[in-house]
Amino acid sequence: MDTQEAHTGNRRGRRSRQEILDAAARVMSVRGYAGTSISTLVKETGLPKSAFYHHFESKAGLLSAVMAQGAQGFFEAMRQAHRDPPEGGTPRERLGWYLQKTGEVFVHREEFLRLLLVLVMSREAAEAREAMDTVIAVRDEGRDYMRHMIRSSFAGEGEDTADAVAGALAHFGMAGFDGAFVSLQSEDGKPVSEFMEQLADAMVAIGEAVIARR
C-alpha cells in the first residue's frame, strides 16, 4: 500500500506541476512576466500557493521551466513539420514549402512565441537569468534552423554557394518571421501563409543576388 500511495502521489505531483506550467505559459503570454503574480496563477489553477513553491523555488524558476518546456515543444513541432521535405524543385519551391510549414507551427505555438518576444523586447525578467539564457538559446537555434532551411533550398547550387546564401540570409529570414508573427498577433487581416509566400519571394530574390555577386 505504501508503494501504491507513493506512485499515486508522484502522479498527482506531476499533474500539478504540469497544470502550473500550462497556466503560467498561458497567463504570462498575455500579461507578461511582471504582470503575472503567483496569486493570479493560484486562481487560474485552483491549486494552493504551497504547490507552486513545492515545485519551483521562485517565480523566476517557474518562468525558466515555462521557457524550457516551450522551447522543447516548439523545436519538436518544427522537426515534425519538416520531416518530409520535397525532393528536387527550384529554390523558391523548396523554401516556400519550408516557410509554409513553419508558419503552421507559428499558429499552433502562439503562447510560447508571444512570451518569447515579450522577453526579447523587455527587461522585465532580468532576474530570471536562466529563462533569459533560454531566450538567447532559442533565438540562436532559430537562426541555425533558418540556415538549414535556406541551405537545403539552395543545395542544387552547390554546397559552398548554399552555405554562402544561408549565411547572408539567416538574420533577414528571422526578422521576417518576427514581423509576420507580430502582424498575426495584431490581427492585421492577412493570414500568416500570405506573409510566408512573400518572405519566400524576397529571400530567393536576395539569394539569387548573392549568387550573382560570387
pLDDT at site 116: 94
Contacts for 85 with CB less than 8 Å, ≥ 6 apart:
94, 97, 98, 152
The C-alpha atoms of residue 89 and residue 31 are separated, in whole angstroms, by: 44
Q: What is the pLDDT of residue 127?
A: 84
Mean pLDDT throughout 158-175?
97
Question: How large a percentage of the chain has pLDDT more than 70?
Answer: 94
Q: Tell me the pLDDT of the chain averaged across its residues.
A: 91
Contact 107, 181 (CB under 8 A): no
**Confidence (pLDDT) at 125:** 83
**Cα separation of 147 and 96, whole Å?**
14
Confidence bin at 12 (pLDDT 50/70/90): low
| pLDDT tens string 172-213 | 999 999 999 999 899 888 899 999 999 999 999 999 999 999
**pLDDT band at 7, cuts 50/70/90?**
very low
**Residue 2 and residue 160: Cα distance in Å, rounded?**
63
pLDDT tens digits, one per residue of 121-156: 888 888 888 889 989 999 999 999 999 999 999 999
pLDDT given at position 123 = 81
- pLDDT greater than 70 at residue 68: yes
**Cα distance between residue 165 and residue 155, in whole Å:** 10
Mean pLDDT of 69-85: 94
Distance between CA atoms of residues 32 and 96, nearest Å: 33
Q: Rounded CA gap, 6 and 12, in Å?
A: 10
Q: How much is the pLDDT for 14?
A: 76
Q: Provide the pLDDT for residue 5.
A: 42
Q: What is the pLDDT of residues 47-62, one digit of tens each?
A: 999 999 999 989 999 9
Contact 201, 95 (CB under 8 A): no
Lowest mean pLDDT among 69-83, 87-101, 115-129, 141-155: 115-129
* Distance from C-alpha of 40 to C-alpha of 46, rounded to nearest angstrom: 10
Concatenate the DSSP letters of all residues of the chain into one string. Answer: -HHHHHHHHHHHHHHHHHHHHHHHHHHHHHHTTTT--HHHHHHHH---HHHHHHH-SSHHHHHHHHHHHHHHHHHHHHHHHTSSPPSS--HHHHHHHHHHHHHHHHHHTHHHHHHHHHHHH--TTTT-HHHHHHHHHHHHHHHHHHHHHHHHHTGGG-HHHHHHHHHHHHHHHHHHHHHHHHHHHHT-S--HHHHHHHHHHHHHHHHHHHHHH-
